[in-house]
């Protein structure tokens, strides 16, 4: 009881540290994990539902992804706030959890087990990407303008076929700088979509071209 | 007019930013996360108030329930609507394009 009360007052970074003591102090680690789940599960559940909705997957899959995300936290509490570009610990942890959720989503299969990422496929380890996108838009836009832009975005994505969309978004996640995607992710795409590597490249190029054409045609970018 | 131009100014960088704000990819910085969470503040979540069970996670006893049921896309919905109309009218033929699609789908499932 005392342990639980103590955990309620602990900073989230400390909770992650206590989770790492599961061998030496299992009771404290368990209490820390329970408190960590109470603090963050709602944010991850909501995010996962949106992510799945955008990838044309159901909320059943979203729930799997949330469980797998927290299973990952229990196993490897690897959040490093110094590497994160977030000002607040809480924001940094939510971003880290979203990346773990996305690792699970992008590698989701119906095998009945969570994806065990390696160093290449674990999106939660990508910190360098933050530097690429640090240049946020120079002018604040209104909510109405943002909604208008998001409507455009949905129109663009909606015009891609199922395979084009999956390939396009997977490349966006794993190869933001136009590099190759990890071999195991590529393998998964081949299996799931029943395509050979050459076809995947073709689909990717077509999708990029389609997005570019749409933007050029309608918005003169 | 100027405002219209501003809201339509979507270049490749902005497009990626929008992908993150909308949830197609994960939010890559604090600002994107803030906008993502704001955007869906009043969204009608199906998993509202769903809590996870830490005990099941620790014991690895949670079950993956997921069947990857894809939501219907617009094209499929269109096909279904056409089929409905054909079924209602009864005396009309099902469009050839739909028949071919059904055949293709059927063959795919047999593989």
CB B11 within 8 A of CB A221: yes
For the stretch B6-26, pLDDT in tens is 445 778 788 999 999 999 999
Nearest by CB: B29 against A47, A136, A212: A136
Angstroms from B107 CA to nearest CA on chain A: 15
Residue B65 pLDDT level (bands cut at 50, 70, 90): confident
pLDDT over 50 (residue B2): no
Listed in sequence order, the DSSP H helices in A107-142 are 128-132
Nearest partner of A133 among B7, B25, B39, judged by Cα: B25
- For residues A38 and A41, give the distance between their C-alpha atoms in angstroms, rounded to a whole number: 6
Residue B107 contacts A where some CB pair is shorter than 8 Å: no
Tens digit of pLDDT at every position of chain A (221 positions)? 678 888 889 999 999 999 999 999 999 999 999 999 999 999 999 999 999 999 999 999 999 999 999 999 999 988 989 888 899 999 999 999 999 999 999 999 888 889 999 988 999 887 665 545 554 444 567 888 888 889 989 999 998 999 999 999 999 999 875 678 999 999 999 999 999 999 999 999 999 999 999 888 776 64
Task: Tell whether B1 lies on the interface with A, counting CB pairs under 8 A.
Answer: no
Instruction: Say how far apart CA B77 and CA B79 lie, in whole Å.
Output: 5
d(CA A20, CA B14): 39
Provide, as residue numbers in chain A, all residues whose Cβ is less than 8 Å from the Cβ of B24: 54-55, 153, 157, 169, 172
Asked whether the beta carbons of residue A130 and residue B29 sit closer than 8 angstroms, the reply is: yes
Shortest CA distance to B109 belongs to which of A188, B101, A209? B101
Q: How far is CA B75 from CA A111, A166, B12, B92, B101, in A?
A: 29, 17, 27, 21, 11
B4 touches chain A (CB under 8 A): no
CB contact under 8 A, A215 and B30: no
- At residue A152, the pLDDT reads 87
CA separation for the pair B68, B75 (Å, rounded): 19
CB spacing of A215 vs B50 below 8 angstroms: no
pLDDT, tens digit (0-9, with 9 covering 90-100), for B22-62: 999 999 999 999 999 999 999 999 999 899 999 999 998 89
Does the beta-carbon distance from A64 to B65 stay under 8 Å? yes
Q: Cα dihedral sign for A47, A151, A170, A84?
A: negative
- Residues, chain A: 221
The first and second tokens of residue A8, run together, are 């309620």
* Residue count of chain B: 111
Query: Could you read off the pLDDT of A114-173 as tens digits, one per residue?
Result: 999 998 899 988 766 554 555 444 456 788 888 888 998 999 999 899 999 999 999 999
């Amino acid at each position: 009881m005392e342990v639980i009360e103590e955990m309620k007052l602990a900073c989230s970074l400390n909770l992650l540290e206590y989770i790492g003591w599961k061998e030496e102090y299992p009771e404290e680690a368990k209490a820390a994990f329970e408190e960590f789940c109470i603090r963050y599960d709602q944010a991850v559940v909501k995010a996962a539902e949106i992510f799945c909705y955008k990838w044309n997957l159901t909320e059943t899959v979203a729930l799997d992804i949330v469980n797998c995300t927290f299973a990952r936290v229990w196993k490897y509490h690897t959040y490093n706030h110094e590497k994160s570009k977030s000002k607040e610990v809480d924001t940094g942890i939510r971003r880290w959890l979203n990346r773990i959720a996305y690792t699970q989503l992008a590698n989701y299969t119906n095998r009945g087990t969570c994806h065990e990422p390696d160093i290449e496929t674990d999106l939660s380890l990508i910190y360098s990407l933050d530097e690429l996108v640090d240049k946020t838009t120079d002018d604040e836009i209104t909510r109405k303008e943002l909604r208008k832009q998001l409507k455009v975005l949905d129109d663009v994505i909606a015009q891609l076929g199922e395979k084009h969309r999956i390939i396009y978004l997977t490349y966006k996640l794993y190869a933001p700088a136009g590099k190759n995607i990890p071999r195991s992710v590529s393998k998964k795409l081949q299996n799931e979509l029943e395509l050979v590597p050459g076809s995947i490249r073709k689909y990717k190029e077509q999708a990029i071209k389609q997005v570019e054409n749409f933007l050029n045609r309608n918005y003169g970018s | 007019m100027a405002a219209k131009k501003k809201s339509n100014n979507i270049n490749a960088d902005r497009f990626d930013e929008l992908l993150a704000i909308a949830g197609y990819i994960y939010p890559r910085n604090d600002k994107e996360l803030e906008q993502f969470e704001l955007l869906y503040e009043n969204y009608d979540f199906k998993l509202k108030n769903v809590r996870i069970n830490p005990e099941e996670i620790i014991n690895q006893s949670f079950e993956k329930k997921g069947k990857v049921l894809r939501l219907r896309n617009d094209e499929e919905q269109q096909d279904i609507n056409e089929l409905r109309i054909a079924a209602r009218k009864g005396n009309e033929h099902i469009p050839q394009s739909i028949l071919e699609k059904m055949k293709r789908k059927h063959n795919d499932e047999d593989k």
